[in-house]
Chain A
Amino acid sequence: MPDLLIELFSEEIPARMQKRASEDLQKLVTDGLVEAGLTYAGAAAFATPRRLTLALDGLTAESKPVREERKGPKVGAPDKAIDGFLRGAGVAREDLEVRDDKKGQVYFAVIEKPGRMAADIVAEVLEQAIRNFPWPKSMRWGAGTLKWVRPLHSILCILTDEAGAAIVPLDVDGITSGNTTRGHRFLAPDTFSVVSFDDYEAKLKRAHVVLRPDERAEAIWAEATNQAFALGLEVVEDRGLLAEVAGLVEWPVVLLGKIDDDFLGLPSEVLQTSMKEHQKFFSVRNPKTGRIERFVTVANMETADNGATILAGNQKVLSARLADAKFFWENDLRVAKAGMGPWLESLGNVTFHNKLGSQKDRIERIETWAEKIAPFLNADVELCKEAARVAKADLSSEMVYEFPELQGLMGRYYCKAAGLHDAVAAACQGHYSPLSPIDEVPTVGVVVAVALADKLDILTGFWSINEKPTGSKDPFALRRACLGIIRLELLNHTRLPLLDFFKEMIKGHFDDSELVDASIDDKAKDLLSFFHDRLKVFLKDKGIRHDIIDACIAMPGNDDLTLLVKRAEALAATLATDDGENLIQGFKRANNILTQAEDKDGVEYSYGADIKFAEDVAEKALFAALDAADAKIAPAMESEDFSTAMTAMAALRGPIDQFFTDVQVNAESELIRRNRLNLLSRIRKICLSVADLTKVEG
């Protein structure tokens, strides 16, 4: 059982592609080997900036011979058909066998494939893997046509068994396989040969290459946190950056450096972003002050001066970068303190969407909506308007131009610098929230108003121009905006009449002449049902069944999400009780009998049952129970106290069950029968006043 070692040695592979590439190499090669009839015991793949490595152990030495029989055309079939069969099976006519079949004599081809040596299979599979490698982007080089992520320099491919290591011969566009590789580009550039994976990994380490990405990442993190700890500082954790940095070095050397005092006044997010994006530095924080005061850089080199030159160079580069950031910050502060006028003007040149105008147009609309939403949040109208006006101003700032990921956050800093109200500053950052299902939801009225206005503008805008999400396509993140509104409303118990807002806003996206009112209504209703769909997904995650939500959506006022969810929660809680669950049965039974009778008789039994025709005790008891329930449910519904209403409704379970046990609805006397049907109608009316229980399953 030989072991297989493959290394594809190239010029520097982008860090972000390494992990996936090592997995792809493993998959392509192992799939190919298995396909060709080999098996293996274990596989592991690794990547460094310059190599992809795959190690397989316990590979079978050769594939088993394969015998395959294929049934062909009938004897006497046209030559064309027989020739086609021969081509497909890859055999000659004289090799065909004639056998008896149910329908007569038929040609059979027997294809014998001898077993093949592992080396032959590996060579073939590896060549195919190299030629068909799924790099996200690949390139040609020199005068060749082979494609790889960067120029491919050498292929190491050996099979090792008790007898020793043997090169698997292979040639891909002039790159021939061998048993050698190289160490670190500067620290151990010479080639060396290897005989097995263990030998390979050990020799690489001696040649200043740590093969395993995890080992490099762990070493970096351990050393960085140690060095910071020694100074009473802490490294700001960033797993993405750690993985990236581990993909930029074969021999990590961690160096801790200082940030020049001149720049410690910059917002810490600016320091962190600049250091991470431009320099791939980790930020090091002083836990006492919360400030970012130092950085960690990871070099790929050991030097005689223990990295002093490297660190000094890195510090200098950082200072130049931060000088730029400071230049942006100071310019931006000047504009901010002068009222942000030029920023707002220039947003007129930024197209939001060619059918929905510029960012400036959008800001004006958001201001209008925020003003109308403010009363629903008891938020100060003037502050809401001001917040809407400036919330996106920072998109024109130099800092956000340089670091788009700081949008909102910079706005907050600039508003504070301009002396604007805290809530206005908070709205700059907060109005984008919530960005994800787990993102925190704002609760300050002004922030919520702008956040709602912003998202409603997006949704009604795209609904106006028929750009709705389809399947997996949602380029404008409309589902996210919708879920954002749902969470904002529910958490803040906001009671927006959404349908009215939709209509007004959709109308606002058009000139009056463009759209007839009916079409506006259709779009608004369609958007509301999109909200209801999102709401179902949202509540399902919270354990509320879709049929319960449907039962509540069917009630009036369903564009008031807070009310809708309150109703659904009360219903879910009621249905979770024994009475509630059984009431549904009773309601359904009553409803079925009633519906059938109404269909049959062609009348609606809603004239009010009269207790004087009640004969049975259970019947009289039901009358009393319904009266009692009515007295409780009506005022409770009036005050939107669904849980009281539903508890009262659930209390009907006993009397209803008893009624069905003791009383025959279809009595001999037509008068009594009709009275009882009218009684069932009261059950239906009471139950449907709370939620549309016909929609509830079970």
Chain B
Amino acid sequence: MSAITPPLPTPAAARTATLGAYAKRWAENVRGGELGSLPIILGLLVIAVVFQVQNDRFLTAGNFVNLMVQGAAFALVAMGIVFVLLLGEIDLSVGYVSGVAGVLTALLLLPDGSSVPTAVAIAAALGSGVLIGTLHGLIITKIGIPSFVVTLAGLLAWNGVVLLLIGSRGTVVLQDAFVIGFANDFVGETAAWVLMLLAVGAYAGGQLWGLRKRAAAGLSNDPLLIVGLRVVGLFVALACVVYIVNQDRGLPYVAVLVGVLLVFWTYVLRRTRFGRHVYAVGGNAEAARRAGIDVDRIKIICFAIASLMAAVGGIVLASRLRSVDTNAGGGAILLYSIAAAVIGGTSLFGGRGHIKAALLGALVIASIDNGLGLLGLSSGTKFVVTGLVLLLAVAVDSFSRRGRAQSGRA
């Protein structure tokens, strides 16, 4: 044996970390470029203050509900985008894929004698999303064409499919009460409180379960105070949301949908083998391949998820507008969704990001869109401002990468 034996870490330090140590580690991470959700939350605060000063209707209960409904579609599509960005790939077709799903839903539910049950129509629309995404994934992995090109072709082709499906109708009015209800109906006041308490209870339960399990295995835990603060923080945040929306029309169903899918995809990404493999492929595809991970399979599934979530977003968008027309899936939906994922903190370089980025980013995008609308500014101005915010978000990503490089974490 050799003479040099490095000092063992003190075992006491490995148990429950002290509050001071926790704060120190957090500060170190921020300096090292692991910014987390910090910039985006600061950004949201700035946006709220600026718009409120300009127009005191921005921070009202009514507008808050509007904002939720407007942002929901972007958040849903952006969740799918997070999966492909984590791989270091891109999907430019999600806009028109959402259009295809919206149009399919509306057409299948058209009361012209051949309409199908609502559930069948929704399943068909979602299924078409999965099929489209699988097709993209197969072309990208098996033929080896860059995702940028394949999904750019998809952008054109699925736009064509939307036009073909609509045909000479021009506009298809959505007449199914259930589908329209997504974005236009609201959870009752009491039900919203119950949902909120259930969510916080489940979160607290999960945190305690984790604490106990780690303690039983003799592993270090975050300080109890921090865990408590997280639970209380979630409670306060959700309670504020429910209180505010109850001042107006109530909690829109679509917000519940976003919440459920947020939890579901977060679980998939952080707690399952598949999710771990997505991060691995995005971080080092060769290492993943040597570890026995089927890289192609992971990629195909991620593109399928992106198109599936685009379809979900498309149905929600159709629901909000109560109709679909030849513009379905066009306009800002594609770029706003990608921007939402990136602004929320998903790295364009692959391997870094969370599903919650989709929600936070969509909140920023919807706030800007909504706020500038309240100020009566043209959509030209909206696009310019949104573009600048996107640029800022990517710049923050680049700077934090540099921070990581300097502290040896890149």
Decide whether A and B are members of one complex. no
A residues near B (Cβ < 8 Å) are: none
